[in-house]
A and B are shown apart, each in its own frame.
Chain A
Protein backbone atom coordinates (compact mmCIF):
# COMPACT_ATOMS: atom_id res chain seq x y z
CA UNK A 1 0.00 0.00 0.00
CA UNK A 2 1.14 3.54 -0.75
CA UNK A 3 -0.04 6.84 0.68
CA UNK A 4 0.77 10.31 -0.64
CA UNK A 5 0.99 13.01 2.03
CA UNK A 6 0.88 16.75 1.52
CA UNK A 7 2.01 19.33 4.06
CA UNK A 8 1.35 23.08 3.75
CA UNK A 9 0.42 24.34 7.22
CA UNK A 10 3.07 27.08 7.47
CA UNK A 11 6.32 27.89 5.63
CA UNK A 12 6.89 24.43 4.13
CA UNK A 13 5.21 22.87 1.14
CA UNK A 14 6.06 19.17 1.24
CA UNK A 15 5.00 15.95 -0.42
CA UNK A 16 5.95 12.38 0.38
CA UNK A 17 5.06 8.80 -0.43
CA UNK A 18 5.24 6.12 2.27
CA UNK A 19 4.51 2.41 2.18
CA UNK A 20 2.40 0.52 4.71
CA UNK A 21 5.63 -0.99 6.05
CA UNK A 22 6.72 2.45 7.18
CA UNK A 23 9.28 3.05 4.44
CA UNK A 24 9.53 6.71 3.45
CA UNK A 25 9.98 6.36 -0.33
CA UNK A 26 10.29 10.08 -0.97
CA UNK A 27 10.14 13.28 1.04
CA UNK A 28 10.37 16.46 -1.02
CA UNK A 29 9.94 19.97 0.33
CA UNK A 30 10.26 23.57 -0.70
CA UNK A 31 10.41 26.17 2.07
CA UNK A 32 9.18 29.76 1.86
CA UNK A 33 11.81 32.02 3.39
CA UNK A 34 10.62 35.31 4.84
CA UNK A 35 12.71 38.45 4.58
CA UNK A 36 15.05 38.95 7.56
CA UNK A 37 13.31 40.84 10.33
CA UNK A 38 9.86 39.69 9.25
CA UNK A 39 7.81 36.62 10.04
CA UNK A 40 5.75 34.44 7.71
CA UNK A 41 3.38 36.51 5.57
CA UNK A 42 0.44 34.09 5.11
CA UNK A 43 -0.53 35.32 1.63
CA UNK A 44 3.05 35.34 0.34
CA UNK A 45 3.66 31.88 1.79
CA UNK A 46 0.47 30.63 0.10
CA UNK A 47 1.62 32.13 -3.22
CA UNK A 48 4.94 30.35 -2.80
CA UNK A 49 3.14 27.07 -2.12
CA UNK A 50 0.93 27.37 -5.23
CA UNK A 51 3.99 28.04 -7.37
CA UNK A 52 5.98 25.01 -6.17
CA UNK A 53 3.12 22.55 -5.54
CA UNK A 54 3.11 20.80 -8.93
CA UNK A 55 6.89 20.34 -8.99
CA UNK A 56 7.11 19.09 -5.39
CA UNK A 57 4.27 16.57 -5.80
CA UNK A 58 5.58 15.16 -9.11
CA UNK A 59 9.11 14.88 -7.71
CA UNK A 60 7.73 12.96 -4.72
CA UNK A 61 5.88 10.50 -6.97
CA UNK A 62 8.83 10.07 -9.38
CA UNK A 63 11.40 9.56 -6.63
CA UNK A 64 9.14 6.98 -4.95
CA UNK A 65 8.56 5.28 -8.28
CA UNK A 66 4.83 5.25 -7.62
CA UNK A 67 2.27 6.56 -10.09
CA UNK A 68 -0.93 8.38 -9.15
CA UNK A 69 -2.94 5.32 -10.13
CA UNK A 70 -0.89 3.09 -7.76
CA UNK A 71 -1.67 5.21 -4.70
CA UNK A 72 -4.06 3.84 -2.07
CA UNK A 73 -4.87 7.19 -0.52
CA UNK A 74 -4.11 10.90 -0.48
CA UNK A 75 -3.51 12.52 2.92
CA UNK A 76 -3.25 16.23 3.65
CA UNK A 77 -2.67 18.33 6.75
CA UNK A 78 -5.95 20.25 7.13
CA UNK A 79 -4.75 22.03 10.27
CA UNK A 80 -3.75 23.58 12.52
CA UNK A 81 -2.00 26.27 10.55
CA UNK A 82 -2.34 29.41 8.45
CA UNK A 83 -5.60 29.47 6.48
CA UNK A 84 -4.22 30.61 3.09
CA UNK A 85 -1.39 28.04 3.26
CA UNK A 86 -3.69 25.20 4.34
CA UNK A 87 -6.03 25.90 1.44
CA UNK A 88 -3.24 25.36 -1.10
CA UNK A 89 -2.40 21.88 0.22
CA UNK A 90 -6.09 21.00 0.60
CA UNK A 91 -6.87 22.02 -2.98
CA UNK A 92 -3.93 20.06 -4.41
CA UNK A 93 -4.84 16.96 -2.37
CA UNK A 94 -8.54 17.12 -3.30
CA UNK A 95 -7.62 17.42 -6.98
CA UNK A 96 -5.28 14.40 -6.91
CA UNK A 97 -7.71 12.27 -4.88
CA UNK A 98 -10.61 13.18 -7.18
CA UNK A 99 -8.59 12.69 -10.38
CA UNK A 100 -7.38 9.17 -9.45
CA UNK A 101 -10.53 8.33 -7.41
CA UNK A 102 -8.53 7.66 -4.24
CA UNK A 103 -9.64 7.91 -0.59
CA UNK A 104 -9.09 11.37 0.90
CA UNK A 105 -7.54 11.43 4.39
CA UNK A 106 -7.51 14.56 6.59
CA UNK A 107 -4.52 14.64 8.96
CA UNK A 108 -3.88 16.81 12.01
CA UNK A 109 -0.40 18.30 11.57
CA UNK A 110 0.55 17.91 15.26
CA UNK A 111 -0.45 14.24 15.27
CA UNK A 112 1.81 13.96 12.20
CA UNK A 113 4.81 15.13 14.26
CA UNK A 114 4.00 12.52 16.93
CA UNK A 115 3.52 9.64 14.48
CA UNK A 116 6.67 10.30 12.43
CA UNK A 117 8.53 10.54 15.75
CA UNK A 118 7.13 7.20 16.86
CA UNK A 119 7.89 5.58 13.50
CA UNK A 120 11.50 6.71 13.32
CA UNK A 121 12.37 6.01 16.98
CA UNK A 122 10.29 2.90 17.64
CA UNK A 123 8.48 4.60 20.54
CA UNK A 124 5.38 2.65 21.60
CA UNK A 125 3.70 4.50 24.48
CA UNK A 126 5.77 7.60 25.15
CA UNK A 127 5.27 10.83 27.00
CA UNK A 128 5.56 13.19 24.03
CA UNK A 129 7.20 16.60 24.02
CA UNK A 130 6.00 18.40 20.90
CA UNK A 131 7.98 21.54 20.19
CA UNK A 132 7.59 23.63 17.05
CA UNK A 133 6.54 27.05 15.88
CA UNK A 134 2.91 26.18 16.58
CA UNK A 135 3.18 23.90 19.60
CA UNK A 136 4.88 23.52 22.94
CA UNK A 137 2.95 20.70 24.56
CA UNK A 138 3.52 17.67 26.77
CA UNK A 139 1.05 14.93 25.82
CA UNK A 140 0.35 11.25 26.45
CA UNK A 141 -2.11 8.85 24.89
CA UNK A 142 -5.10 7.73 26.95
CA UNK A 143 -8.66 6.70 26.16
CA UNK A 144 -8.44 7.12 22.39
CA UNK A 145 -6.99 10.62 22.42
CA UNK A 146 -3.75 12.46 23.09
CA UNK A 147 -4.19 14.24 26.43
CA UNK A 148 -2.37 17.44 27.27
CA UNK A 149 -0.45 17.28 30.54
CA UNK A 150 1.34 20.55 30.17
CA UNK A 151 1.72 23.29 27.59
CA UNK A 152 2.77 26.88 27.11
CA UNK A 153 0.40 29.42 28.59
CA UNK A 154 1.32 31.98 25.94
CA UNK A 155 3.89 31.74 23.10
CA UNK A 156 5.58 28.53 21.96
CA UNK A 157 9.28 27.76 22.19
CA UNK A 158 9.52 28.18 18.40
CA UNK A 159 7.73 31.54 18.68
CA UNK A 160 10.15 32.67 21.37
CA UNK A 161 13.17 32.06 19.11
CA UNK A 162 11.49 33.44 15.98
CA UNK A 163 10.13 36.59 17.65
CA UNK A 164 13.50 37.27 19.26
CA UNK A 165 15.20 36.78 15.88
CA UNK A 166 12.73 39.05 14.11
CA UNK A 167 13.55 41.92 16.46
CA UNK A 168 17.24 41.65 15.59
CA UNK A 169 16.75 41.09 11.86
CA UNK A 170 17.55 37.40 11.64
CA UNK A 171 15.46 35.27 9.26
CA UNK A 172 13.03 32.69 10.67
CA UNK A 173 12.95 29.85 11.54
CA UNK A 174 15.76 31.11 13.75
CA UNK A 175 16.43 28.19 16.09
CA UNK A 176 19.62 26.96 14.37
CA UNK A 177 21.13 30.47 14.24
CA UNK A 178 20.32 31.12 17.92
CA UNK A 179 21.89 27.77 18.80
CA UNK A 180 25.04 28.65 16.84
CA UNK A 181 25.35 32.03 18.58
CA UNK A 182 24.70 30.43 21.98
CA UNK A 183 27.60 28.04 21.49
CA UNK A 184 29.98 30.99 21.54
CA UNK A 185 29.10 31.94 25.11
CA UNK A 186 29.02 30.43 28.58
CA UNK A 187 28.28 33.64 30.42
CA UNK A 188 24.89 33.25 32.03
CA UNK A 189 22.66 36.29 32.39
CA UNK A 190 19.75 35.77 34.83
CA UNK A 191 16.40 35.83 32.97
CA UNK A 192 12.83 35.10 34.14
CA UNK A 193 12.17 31.40 34.66
CA UNK A 194 8.42 30.72 34.78
CA UNK A 195 7.07 27.23 35.42
CA UNK A 196 3.52 26.86 36.75
CA UNK A 197 2.89 23.24 37.60
CA UNK A 198 3.29 21.42 34.28
CA UNK A 199 2.91 24.59 32.25
CA UNK A 200 5.50 27.10 31.05
CA UNK A 201 5.22 30.76 30.06
CA UNK A 202 7.72 32.30 27.64
CA UNK A 203 6.40 35.81 26.95
CA UNK A 204 8.23 37.39 29.91
CA UNK A 205 11.44 35.67 28.87
CA UNK A 206 11.15 37.17 25.37
CA UNK A 207 10.68 40.70 26.70
CA UNK A 208 13.51 40.34 29.22
CA UNK A 209 15.93 38.86 26.65
CA UNK A 210 15.33 41.75 24.27
CA UNK A 211 15.76 44.34 26.99
CA UNK A 212 19.03 42.75 28.20
CA UNK A 213 20.28 42.94 24.62
CA UNK A 214 19.26 46.60 24.32
CA UNK A 215 20.92 47.33 27.66
CA UNK A 216 24.24 46.19 26.21
CA UNK A 217 24.50 42.43 26.73
CA UNK A 218 26.21 40.67 23.83
CA UNK A 219 24.08 38.75 21.34
CA UNK A 220 25.97 35.53 22.14
CA UNK A 221 25.44 35.83 25.92
CA UNK A 222 21.77 36.66 25.43
CA UNK A 223 21.17 33.74 23.06
CA UNK A 224 22.99 31.38 25.41
CA UNK A 225 21.03 32.50 28.47
CA UNK A 226 17.66 32.58 26.70
CA UNK A 227 18.23 29.09 25.33
CA UNK A 228 19.38 27.76 28.72
CA UNK A 229 16.39 29.21 30.58
CA UNK A 230 13.75 28.27 27.98
CA UNK A 231 14.96 24.67 27.63
CA UNK A 232 15.42 24.20 31.40
CA UNK A 233 11.87 25.44 32.00
CA UNK A 234 10.47 22.91 29.57
CA UNK A 235 12.69 20.19 31.07
CA UNK A 236 11.25 20.89 34.51
CA UNK A 237 7.65 20.78 33.24
CA UNK A 238 8.46 17.52 31.44
CA UNK A 239 9.99 16.08 34.60
CA UNK A 240 6.79 16.78 36.53
CA UNK A 241 4.68 15.13 33.83
CA UNK A 242 7.03 12.16 33.64
CA UNK A 243 6.92 11.67 37.42
CA UNK A 244 3.13 11.85 37.27
CA UNK A 245 2.46 9.61 34.25
CA UNK A 246 5.34 7.18 34.93
CA UNK A 247 5.83 6.58 31.22
CA UNK A 248 9.06 4.78 30.40
CA UNK A 249 9.69 6.47 27.06
CA UNK A 250 10.15 10.17 26.36
CA UNK A 251 9.65 11.22 22.72
CA UNK A 252 10.93 14.59 21.54
CA UNK A 253 9.46 15.68 18.21
CA UNK A 254 8.70 18.79 16.12
CA UNK A 255 10.88 21.47 14.55
CA UNK A 256 12.61 22.60 17.75
CA UNK A 257 13.50 18.93 18.52
CA UNK A 258 16.61 19.60 16.41
CA UNK A 259 17.95 21.87 19.17
CA UNK A 260 20.87 20.06 20.83
CA UNK A 261 20.58 21.90 24.13
CA UNK A 262 16.96 20.78 24.42
CA UNK A 263 17.89 17.22 23.43
CA UNK A 264 20.58 17.10 26.11
CA UNK A 265 18.31 18.47 28.85
CA UNK A 266 15.43 16.15 28.06
CA UNK A 267 17.79 13.17 27.96
CA UNK A 268 18.92 14.21 31.46
CA UNK A 269 15.28 14.29 32.60
CA UNK A 270 14.60 10.86 31.09
CA UNK A 271 17.64 9.43 32.90
CA UNK A 272 16.39 10.78 36.25
CA UNK A 273 13.16 8.80 35.83
CA UNK A 274 14.49 5.66 34.14
CA UNK A 275 12.79 6.52 30.86
CA UNK A 276 14.31 5.96 27.42
CA UNK A 277 14.85 9.21 25.54
CA UNK A 278 13.72 9.02 21.91
CA UNK A 279 14.48 11.87 19.54
CA UNK A 280 12.85 12.12 16.12
CA UNK A 281 15.22 11.53 13.21
CA UNK A 282 16.82 14.84 12.25
CA UNK A 283 15.43 14.55 8.70
CA UNK A 284 11.89 14.76 10.07
CA UNK A 285 12.14 17.41 12.81
CA UNK A 286 10.90 20.18 10.54
CA UNK A 287 7.50 20.18 8.81
CA UNK A 288 7.48 17.61 6.01
CA UNK A 289 5.24 15.54 3.78
CA UNK A 290 6.44 12.29 5.39
CA UNK A 291 4.74 13.07 8.72
CA UNK A 292 1.44 13.54 6.88
CA UNK A 293 1.88 10.57 4.54
CA UNK A 294 2.68 8.18 7.41
CA UNK A 295 -0.17 9.41 9.64
CA UNK A 296 -2.41 9.20 6.57
CA UNK A 297 -1.33 5.59 6.10
CA UNK A 298 -2.23 4.77 9.72
CA UNK A 299 -5.61 6.48 9.32
CA UNK A 300 -6.24 4.79 5.97
CA UNK A 301 -5.62 1.35 7.45
CA UNK A 302 -8.12 2.25 10.20
CA UNK A 303 -10.60 3.39 7.50
CA UNK A 304 -10.50 7.01 8.69
CA UNK A 305 -11.21 8.73 5.39
CA UNK A 306 -13.50 11.64 4.54
CA UNK A 307 -15.65 12.49 1.50
CA UNK A 308 -13.91 15.25 -0.44
CA UNK A 309 -17.08 17.33 -0.49
CA UNK A 310 -17.04 17.49 3.34
CA UNK A 311 -13.38 18.42 3.69
CA UNK A 312 -12.68 21.82 5.21
CA UNK A 313 -9.41 23.30 6.46
CA UNK A 314 -9.37 23.66 10.25
CA UNK A 315 -6.83 26.33 11.13
CA UNK A 316 -7.37 25.92 14.89
CA UNK A 317 -7.70 22.13 15.00
CA UNK A 318 -6.39 21.05 18.43
CA UNK A 319 -4.60 17.73 18.69
CA UNK A 320 -6.51 16.67 21.80
CA UNK A 321 -9.76 16.84 19.80
CA UNK A 322 -8.71 14.11 17.38
CA UNK A 323 -10.23 10.70 18.11
CA UNK A 324 -7.59 8.11 17.21
CA UNK A 325 -8.57 4.56 16.30
CA UNK A 326 -5.18 3.17 15.29
CA UNK A 327 -3.55 3.35 18.73
CA UNK A 328 -4.35 1.25 21.75
CA UNK A 329 -4.05 2.28 25.36
CA UNK A 330 -1.10 0.60 26.97
CA UNK A 331 -2.05 -0.16 30.55
Chain B
Protein backbone atom coordinates (compact mmCIF):
# COMPACT_ATOMS: atom_id res chain seq x y z
CA UNK B 1 0.00 0.00 0.00
CA UNK B 2 1.64 3.20 -1.16
CA UNK B 3 0.72 6.48 0.48
CA UNK B 4 2.39 9.78 0.85
CA UNK B 5 3.18 11.57 4.06
CA UNK B 6 3.96 15.19 3.42
CA UNK B 7 6.08 15.27 0.31
CA UNK B 8 7.49 11.77 0.54
CA UNK B 9 6.17 8.74 -1.27
CA UNK B 10 6.05 5.82 1.12
CA UNK B 11 7.11 3.14 1.68
CA UNK B 12 10.62 4.16 0.69
CA UNK B 13 13.64 1.86 0.73
CA UNK B 14 16.35 3.63 2.72
CA UNK B 15 18.91 0.88 3.22
CA UNK B 16 19.63 -2.53 1.75
CA UNK B 17 22.09 -4.64 3.74
CA UNK B 18 23.28 -8.18 3.16
CA UNK B 19 20.51 -9.51 5.36
CA UNK B 20 17.68 -7.02 5.62
CA UNK B 21 15.94 -4.15 3.89
CA UNK B 22 14.99 -1.02 5.80
CA UNK B 23 11.93 0.96 4.68
CA UNK B 24 10.56 4.25 5.80
CA UNK B 25 6.80 3.98 5.97
CA UNK B 26 3.57 5.54 7.05
CA UNK B 27 2.36 3.98 10.29
CA UNK B 28 -1.13 5.28 11.00
CA UNK B 29 -0.19 8.79 10.01
CA UNK B 30 3.31 9.01 11.43
CA UNK B 31 6.72 7.98 10.11
CA UNK B 32 7.99 4.55 11.05
CA UNK B 33 10.79 2.21 10.04
CA UNK B 34 10.24 -1.32 8.82
CA UNK B 35 13.03 -3.90 8.94
CA UNK B 36 12.43 -6.94 6.77
CA UNK B 37 14.72 -9.91 6.53
CA UNK B 38 14.69 -10.98 2.91
CA UNK B 39 14.52 -14.60 1.69
CA UNK B 40 17.78 -15.98 0.36
CA UNK B 41 17.90 -18.22 -2.72
CA UNK B 42 20.92 -20.07 -1.30
CA UNK B 43 19.00 -21.59 1.61
CA UNK B 44 16.37 -24.29 1.33
CA UNK B 45 12.97 -22.74 2.21
CA UNK B 46 12.55 -24.58 5.53
CA UNK B 47 15.98 -23.41 6.69
CA UNK B 48 15.54 -19.91 5.31
CA UNK B 49 12.17 -19.33 6.96
CA UNK B 50 13.40 -20.67 10.30
CA UNK B 51 16.51 -18.48 10.30
CA UNK B 52 14.70 -15.29 9.37
CA UNK B 53 11.96 -15.95 11.90
CA UNK B 54 14.39 -16.77 14.73
CA UNK B 55 16.59 -13.77 14.06
CA UNK B 56 13.62 -11.41 13.94
CA UNK B 57 12.35 -12.72 17.27
CA UNK B 58 15.84 -12.64 18.77
CA UNK B 59 16.49 -9.08 17.68
CA UNK B 60 13.17 -7.75 18.91
CA UNK B 61 13.41 -9.51 22.24
CA UNK B 62 16.88 -7.99 22.76
CA UNK B 63 15.49 -4.56 21.93
CA UNK B 64 12.65 -5.15 24.36
CA UNK B 65 15.07 -6.21 27.08
CA UNK B 66 17.37 -3.23 26.41
CA UNK B 67 14.39 -0.93 26.77
CA UNK B 68 13.41 -2.57 30.06
CA UNK B 69 16.84 -1.82 31.51
CA UNK B 70 16.54 1.80 30.46
CA UNK B 71 18.55 1.92 27.22
CA UNK B 72 16.98 4.15 24.56
CA UNK B 73 16.07 1.97 21.57
CA UNK B 74 13.31 2.58 19.02
CA UNK B 75 9.90 1.44 20.29
CA UNK B 76 8.68 -1.67 18.49
CA UNK B 77 5.26 -0.98 17.04
CA UNK B 78 4.50 -4.19 15.27
CA UNK B 79 6.14 -7.59 15.04
CA UNK B 80 5.33 -10.19 12.41
CA UNK B 81 7.68 -13.14 12.86
CA UNK B 82 6.06 -15.17 10.06
CA UNK B 83 6.93 -12.39 7.60
CA UNK B 84 10.32 -11.85 9.30
CA UNK B 85 9.52 -8.21 9.71
CA UNK B 86 8.99 -5.61 12.41
CA UNK B 87 8.02 -1.96 12.48
CA UNK B 88 9.65 0.47 14.89
CA UNK B 89 9.56 4.12 15.82
CA UNK B 90 11.44 6.44 13.45
CA UNK B 91 14.35 8.23 15.12
CA UNK B 92 14.75 11.62 13.51
CA UNK B 93 18.47 12.26 13.55
CA UNK B 94 21.86 11.37 12.08
CA UNK B 95 24.07 8.44 13.04
CA UNK B 96 26.63 9.24 15.70
CA UNK B 97 29.25 8.59 13.05
CA UNK B 98 27.97 11.50 10.96
CA UNK B 99 27.24 13.75 13.90
CA UNK B 100 30.75 13.49 15.36
CA UNK B 101 32.18 15.09 12.22
CA UNK B 102 30.03 18.18 12.64
CA UNK B 103 29.95 19.08 16.33
CA UNK B 104 32.32 20.92 18.68
CA UNK B 105 34.99 18.98 20.63
CA UNK B 106 32.98 19.47 23.85
CA UNK B 107 29.82 17.96 22.38
CA UNK B 108 31.85 15.20 20.72
CA UNK B 109 33.26 14.15 24.07
CA UNK B 110 29.97 14.44 25.88
CA UNK B 111 28.18 12.28 23.26
CA UNK B 112 30.83 9.58 23.55
CA UNK B 113 30.79 9.71 27.35
CA UNK B 114 27.02 9.29 27.21
CA UNK B 115 27.41 6.33 24.83
CA UNK B 116 29.87 4.77 27.29
CA UNK B 117 27.32 5.14 30.06
CA UNK B 118 24.56 3.53 27.94
CA UNK B 119 26.69 0.59 26.81
CA UNK B 120 27.81 0.02 30.40
CA UNK B 121 24.21 -0.05 31.62
CA UNK B 122 23.26 -2.40 28.81
CA UNK B 123 26.15 -4.73 29.73
CA UNK B 124 25.25 -4.60 33.42
CA UNK B 125 21.70 -5.48 32.41
CA UNK B 126 22.89 -8.64 30.63
CA UNK B 127 22.66 -7.57 26.98
CA UNK B 128 25.54 -7.37 24.50
CA UNK B 129 25.13 -5.68 21.14
CA UNK B 130 27.43 -7.80 18.94
CA UNK B 131 27.82 -5.18 16.22
CA UNK B 132 28.57 -2.03 18.20
CA UNK B 133 29.70 0.70 15.81
CA UNK B 134 29.00 4.43 15.65
CA UNK B 135 26.82 3.77 12.60
CA UNK B 136 24.52 1.79 14.88
CA UNK B 137 23.92 4.73 17.21
CA UNK B 138 21.41 7.43 16.25
CA UNK B 139 21.37 10.89 17.78
CA UNK B 140 18.04 12.70 18.02
CA UNK B 141 18.46 16.17 19.51
CA UNK B 142 21.31 14.98 21.69
CA UNK B 143 19.57 11.82 22.85
CA UNK B 144 21.34 8.61 21.76
CA UNK B 145 19.48 5.50 20.56
CA UNK B 146 21.04 2.10 19.95
CA UNK B 147 19.86 0.19 16.87
CA UNK B 148 20.55 -3.02 14.97
CA UNK B 149 20.67 -5.73 17.62
CA UNK B 150 20.72 -8.48 14.97
CA UNK B 151 24.02 -9.94 16.17
CA UNK B 152 23.39 -9.30 19.86
CA UNK B 153 22.90 -11.71 22.70
CA UNK B 154 21.74 -12.13 26.27
CA UNK B 155 25.10 -12.40 28.00
CA UNK B 156 27.01 -11.19 31.00
CA UNK B 157 30.25 -12.76 29.73
CA UNK B 158 33.35 -10.63 29.80
CA UNK B 159 34.37 -11.98 26.39
CA UNK B 160 31.19 -10.66 24.72
CA UNK B 161 31.58 -7.31 26.43
CA UNK B 162 35.19 -7.12 25.28
CA UNK B 163 34.07 -7.77 21.69
CA UNK B 164 31.57 -4.86 21.92
CA UNK B 165 34.33 -2.50 23.05
CA UNK B 166 36.72 -3.80 20.41
CA UNK B 167 34.23 -3.35 17.58
CA UNK B 168 33.43 0.19 18.70
CA UNK B 169 37.10 1.06 19.06
CA UNK B 170 37.81 -0.25 15.57
CA UNK B 171 34.88 1.67 14.06
CA UNK B 172 36.00 4.91 15.74
CA UNK B 173 39.56 4.32 14.57
CA UNK B 174 38.59 3.78 10.94
CA UNK B 175 36.25 6.79 10.58
CA UNK B 176 37.61 9.39 13.00
CA UNK B 177 41.35 8.95 12.71
CA UNK B 178 42.22 12.43 14.00
CA UNK B 179 40.31 12.34 17.26
CA UNK B 180 39.98 8.61 17.75
CA UNK B 181 41.92 8.63 21.04
CA UNK B 182 39.85 11.48 22.39
CA UNK B 183 36.43 9.96 21.61
CA UNK B 184 37.23 6.41 22.67
CA UNK B 185 38.77 7.85 25.83
CA UNK B 186 35.55 9.75 26.53
CA UNK B 187 33.55 6.57 25.87
CA UNK B 188 35.65 4.64 28.39
CA UNK B 189 35.23 7.41 30.96
CA UNK B 190 31.46 7.05 30.70
CA UNK B 191 31.71 3.25 30.75
CA UNK B 192 33.92 3.29 33.85
CA UNK B 193 31.60 5.68 35.70
CA UNK B 194 28.85 3.01 35.59
CA UNK B 195 30.65 -0.31 35.98
CA UNK B 196 33.36 0.83 38.40
CA UNK B 197 37.13 0.73 38.11
CA UNK B 198 37.61 -2.99 38.66
CA UNK B 199 35.13 -4.20 36.04
CA UNK B 200 36.26 -1.48 33.63
CA UNK B 201 39.88 -2.61 33.79
CA UNK B 202 38.88 -6.26 33.34
CA UNK B 203 36.81 -5.46 30.27
CA UNK B 204 39.44 -3.24 28.64
CA UNK B 205 42.10 -5.88 29.28
CA UNK B 206 39.85 -8.50 27.69
CA UNK B 207 39.38 -6.23 24.67
CA UNK B 208 43.17 -5.99 24.25
CA UNK B 209 43.51 -9.77 24.65
CA UNK B 210 40.91 -10.44 21.92
CA UNK B 211 42.67 -7.96 19.65
CA UNK B 212 45.99 -9.75 20.15
CA UNK B 213 44.44 -13.10 19.29
CA UNK B 214 44.26 -11.79 15.76
CA UNK B 215 40.90 -13.11 14.70
CA UNK B 216 39.54 -9.60 14.84
CA UNK B 217 42.55 -7.79 13.43
CA UNK B 218 43.11 -6.57 9.90
CA UNK B 219 39.56 -7.14 8.84
CA UNK B 220 38.28 -3.79 7.77
A216-261 residues with Cβ-Cβ distance < 8 A to B are 228-229, 231-232, 235-236, 239-240, 242-244
Partner of A236, one of B17, B40, B44, B46: B40
Stretch at the interface among A97-105, A145-153, A283-291: A145-153
Q: Which residues from chain A contact B44 at a C-beta distance below 8 Å?
A: 188, 228, 232
Q: Which residues from chain B contact A239 at a C-beta distance below 8 Å?
A: 18, 40, 42
Q: Which residues of B contact A (CB under 8 A)?
A: 17-19, 40-44, 46-47, 50-51, 131, 151, 215, 218-219
Q: Which residues from chain A contact B219 at a C-beta distance below 8 Å?
A: 147-149, 198
Closest CB in chain A relative to B175 CB, distance in Å:
14
Q: Is A184 an interface residue (CB 8 A)?
A: no
Q: Is A269 an interface residue (CB 8 A)?
A: yes
26 contacts between A and B (CB under 8 A): A148-B219, A151-B215, A188-B46, A190-B50, A193-B47, A196-B151, A197-B131, A198-B219, A199-B215, A228-B43, A228-B44, A228-B47, A231-B42, A232-B43, A232-B47, A235-B42, A235-B43, A236-B42, A239-B40, A239-B42, A240-B19, A242-B18, A243-B17, A265-B42, A266-B42, A268-B41
Q: Is A320 an interface residue (CB 8 A)?
A: yes
Q: Which residues from chain A contact B215 at a C-beta distance below 8 Å?
A: 151, 153, 199
Q: Which residues of A contact B (CB under 8 A)?
A: 147-149, 151, 153, 188, 190, 193, 196-199, 228-229, 231-232, 235-236, 239-240, 242-244, 264-266, 268-269, 272, 320
- Kindly report which residue of chain B lies nearest to residue A198, judged by CB atoms: B219
A272 to B38, CA, bound (A): 12
Q: Which residues from chain B contact A272 at a C-beta distance below 8 Å?
A: 41
Q: Which residues from chain A contact B47 at a C-beta distance below 8 Å?
A: 188, 190, 193, 228-229, 232
B42, B44, B151 pick with most chain A CB within 10 angstroms: B42
B17, B19, B47 pick with most chain A CB within 10 angstroms: B47
Q: Which residues from chain B contact A235 at a C-beta distance below 8 Å?
A: 40, 42-43
CB pair A197–B43 under 8 Å, yes or no, is no
CB pair A243–B51 under 8 Å, yes or no, is no
- Kindly report which residue of chain B lies nearest to residue A318, judged by CB atoms: B214
Closest CB in chain A relative to B16 CB, distance in Å:
9
CB pair A268–B42 under 8 Å, yes or no, is yes
A206 to B119, CA, bound (A): 35
A228 to B41, CA, bound (A): 12
Chain B, interface SS category: loop
Q: Which residues from chain A contact B41 at a C-beta distance below 8 Å?
A: 268, 272
Closest CB in chain B relative to A159 CB, distance in Å:
18
Q: Which residues from chain A contact B19 at a C-beta distance below 8 Å?
A: 236, 240
CB pair B218–A147 under 8 Å, yes or no, is yes
A232 to B219, CA, bound (A): 22
Q: Which residues from chain B contact A188 at a C-beta distance below 8 Å?
A: 44, 46-47
Given contacts A147-B218, A153-B215, contact A269 B50 (CB under 8 A): no
A148 to B215, CA, bound (A): 9
CB pair B42–A269 under 8 Å, yes or no, is yes
Q: Which residues from chain B contact A196 at a C-beta distance below 8 Å?
A: 151
CB pair A243–B18 under 8 Å, yes or no, is yes
A264 to B44, CA, bound (A): 12
Q: Which residues from chain B contact A320 at a C-beta distance below 8 Å?
A: 218
A193 to B131, CA, bound (A): 19
Q: Which residues from chain B contact A268 at a C-beta distance below 8 Å?
A: 40-42
CB pair A197–B42 under 8 Å, yes or no, is no
A193 to B58, CA, bound (A): 15
Closest CB in chain B relative to A126 CB, distance in Å:
18
Q: Which residues from chain A contact B17 at a C-beta distance below 8 Å?
A: 243
Q: Which residues from chain A contact B42 at a C-beta distance below 8 Å?
A: 231-232, 235-236, 239, 264-266, 268-269
Given contacts A197-B131, A228-B44, A269-B42, contact A148 B218 (CB under 8 A): yes
CB pair B43–A240 under 8 Å, yes or no, is no
Given contacts A232-B47, A243-B18, A320-B218, contact A197 B151 (CB under 8 A): yes
Q: Which residues from chain A contact B18 at a C-beta distance below 8 Å?
A: 236, 239-240, 242-244
A232 to B52, CA, bound (A): 13
Closest CB in chain B relative to A299 CB, distance in Å:
23
Q: Which residues from chain B contact A231 at a C-beta distance below 8 Å?
A: 42
A231 to B41, CA, bound (A): 12
Q: Which residues from chain A contact B51 at a C-beta distance below 8 Å?
A: 193
A193 to B46, CA, bound (A): 13
A198 to B42, CA, bound (A): 16
Rank and list the top 9 A-B pairs by shortest CB-CB distance, nearest first.
Answer: A265-B42, A243-B18, A235-B42, A268-B42, A240-B18, A232-B43, A268-B41, A239-B18, A188-B46
